[in-house]
Structure 1
Amino acid sequence: MPYEPETDPAADLSDVQAGRDITLDELAVGLSAVRLMLRKLARAAETPSTPVELSDTIKGLRHLADSVGEHADRAEFLARVVEGDVPLAKTFKGSDPWGKAAQGTDREDYGGPAVIPTQWQLVHLAQQAKWALAQGGDADTTTYPEAMDGVGRGWESKEAQFRRQRERDAAVAREVLLIVCESCASGEGEHCRTKNGRVSEKPHVVRQREAESTVDARLGFLGTNPVAVPDA
Structure 2
Amino acid sequence: MADTYETDSEKNTTDLMAGKKITVDELAVELSAIELRLRQAAFAAEVPETPVELADTISNLRSYASSIRSSSDQLRFLARIVAGDVPLAMTFPTGDVWGAAARGTDRVDFGGPAIVPTQWQLQRLAEDGKRATETITYPEAMAGVGLGWESKAATARRRRERDAAVAAEVLQTRCAKCGAGDGEQCRTAKGWAADQAHVGRQREAEATVDARLGYLGDNPVDVPNA
TM-score greater than 0.5 by the shorter chain:
yes
One-letter amino acid of the counterpart of residue 168, structure 2: R
Q: Is structure 2 residue 183 aligned with structure 1 residue 189?
A: yes
Per-residue CA deviation, residues 131-150 of structure 1 (Å, 9 max, x unaligned), is 44xxxxxx311111111111
The aligned counterpart of 1:55 is: 55
In the TM superposition, structure 1's runs of 4+ consecutive aligned residues that sit over 3 Å from their partners are 228-232
Number of matched residues?
224
1:151: Cα distance to partner? 1.5
1:228: Cα distance to partner? 4.7
TM-score normalised according to structure 1 size = 0.87
Per-residue CA deviation, residues 16-66 of structure 1 (Å, 9 max, x unaligned), is 122222111111111112112221222222233333322222211111111
Determine the C-alpha separation between the residues in 2 that align with 1:85 and 1:153: 23
1:187: Cα distance to partner? 2.5
Is the contact between residue 153 and residue 231 of structure 1 (CA under 8 Å) also seen in structure 2? no
When structure 1 is superposed on structure 2, of 50-59 and 219-228 the one drifting more is 50-59
Q: Please, which of 205, 216, 219 is the counterpart of residue 225 of structure 1? A: 219
TM-score normalised according to structure 2 size = 0.90
Q: Please, which of 128, 147, 150 is the counterpart of residue 144 of structure 2? A: 150
Return closer, same or farther for 1:4/1:185 CA change in 2, 3 Å cut-off: farther
The aligned counterpart of 2:194 is: 200
Per-residue CA deviation, residues 163-206 of structure 1 (Å, 9 max, x unaligned), is 10000001111111222322233322222222333222212222
Q: Please, which of 151, 157, 167 is the counterpart of residue 163 of structure 1? A: 157
Provide structure 2 residue ranges, at least 5 long, that are not aligned to the other structure. Answer: none
SS in 1 for 2:144: coil
Per-residue CA deviation, residues 54-108 of structure 1 (Å, 9 max, x unaligned), is 2222211111111111111111111111111111111222222111222223322
Return closer, same or farther for 1:102/1:193 CA change in 2, 3 Å cut-off: same
Q: Sequence identity, in percent?
A: 60
Is the contact between residue 214 and residue 221 of structure 2 (CA under 8 Å) also seen in structure 1? yes
Output the aligned Cα RMSD: 2.2
